[in-house]
Structure 1
Amino acid sequence: MYKRILVPTDGSEITAKALQTAIGLARLTGAQIFAIGVKEPFPYSAISEMQPVPPQEFYDAQERIAAGRVKTALDAAAAAGITAQGHTVEALHPWEAIIDHAKAQECDLIVMASHGRRGVSALLLGSETQKVLTHSTLPVLVVR
């Protein structure tokens, strides 16, 4: 059934729930887990000397945070006896990075969390999960 499952992680509690769901599916199907952490690009402005944080310091912090989140996912998979790989990628739009990474890793399922926003807040904030659902050609399992 599923052999390669992508799990995006942002370190939230709901993402941990999605990871546990993916681990359960992987256990049932013998699949591998691919964890991804998306890093924000440096917010360049026209007045570069007014940046509050130097670019390299920003990149290092983003990598440290994303790698830590991915490591947590890999540790959970290893504890369950599931083979897993993890990657961090930089992207302006996380949903695009998730879809692109799923294709690059030849995943056949994306398991991701939804924070369950509704109404105006969902409209204003948007949803990376909703965008993945809208644009992905792969099956997406949404965990709440």
Structure 2
Amino acid sequence: MFQHILIATDGSPLSESAVDQAMTLAREAGAKVTVVTVTEPFHVMATDSKQLSETRETYDRHMKAEAGRHLASAEHKAKAQGVQCHVIQVEDEHPYKAIIDTAKKAGCDLIAMASHGRRGVSALVIGSVTNKVLTHSSIPVLVYR
């Protein structure tokens, strides 16, 4: 069956449910998991260099802390299920590419993720991250709803 599952999470309730279900699948298949959360880079919206510096530092600190909470939760779930787990936080302008690239680099044979996360109106206009992963991945993708 599957040997190494990449689980993508953004920390949303739907995504957390997908993590739970994918951990159960991994345990039942005897697979290890890599859990990834992708953060988008800081975008400049001001011209004052001091404001930009402080804003970027605050943004980076917040995003790392938020990603750390999501990944710690996934590690805890893996440990509770007896699943070997590696976690990684990636910063990328295009989350779907980061998910696919991480799965390839880790040698994963399945990507598991929720049907949609926290992308709001932009998901309707640009398309969901999950849809892009489904469209561009050569690795099988399991979508949880």
Pairwise same-fold verdict (TM > 0.5): yes
Does residue 82 of structure 2 align to residue 74 of structure 1? no
**C-alpha offsets along residues 115-138 of structure 1, whole Å, 9 cap, x if unaligned?**
39xxx9854151000000000000
In structure 1, the residue matched to 2:65 is: 64
Q: CA deviation at 1:39?
A: 1.4
Structure 1 stretches lacking a partner, 5+ long: none
Q: CA deviation at 1:56?
A: 2.1
**1:7 maps to what in 2?**
7
Check if 1:130 corresponds to 2:131: yes
| Residue 35 of structure 2: aligned partner | 35
Aligned residues: 141
Q: CA deviation at 1:33?
A: 1.2
Task: Please list every run of at least 4 consecutive aligned residues from structure 1 whose deviation after the TM superposition is greater than 3 angstroms.
Answer: 48-53, 120-123
SS at match of 2:88: strand
Task: State the SS of the aligned residue for 1:54.
Answer: helix
SS at match of 2:107: coil
Query: Percent same amino acid among aligned pairs?
Result: 43
CA positional deviation for 1:85: 0.7
User: What RMSD, in angstroms, separates the aligned Cα atoms of the two structures?
Assistant: 2.1
Deviates further, 100-109 or 11-20: 11-20
Question: What is the aligned partner in structure 2 of residue 44 from structure 1?
Answer: 44
- Would you say the 8 A contact 2:6–2:33 is kept in 1? yes
- TM-score scaled by structure 1? 0.88
Counterpart code for 1:142: V
Q: How does 1:11-30 map to 2 (within 5 A)?
A: 11-30=11-30
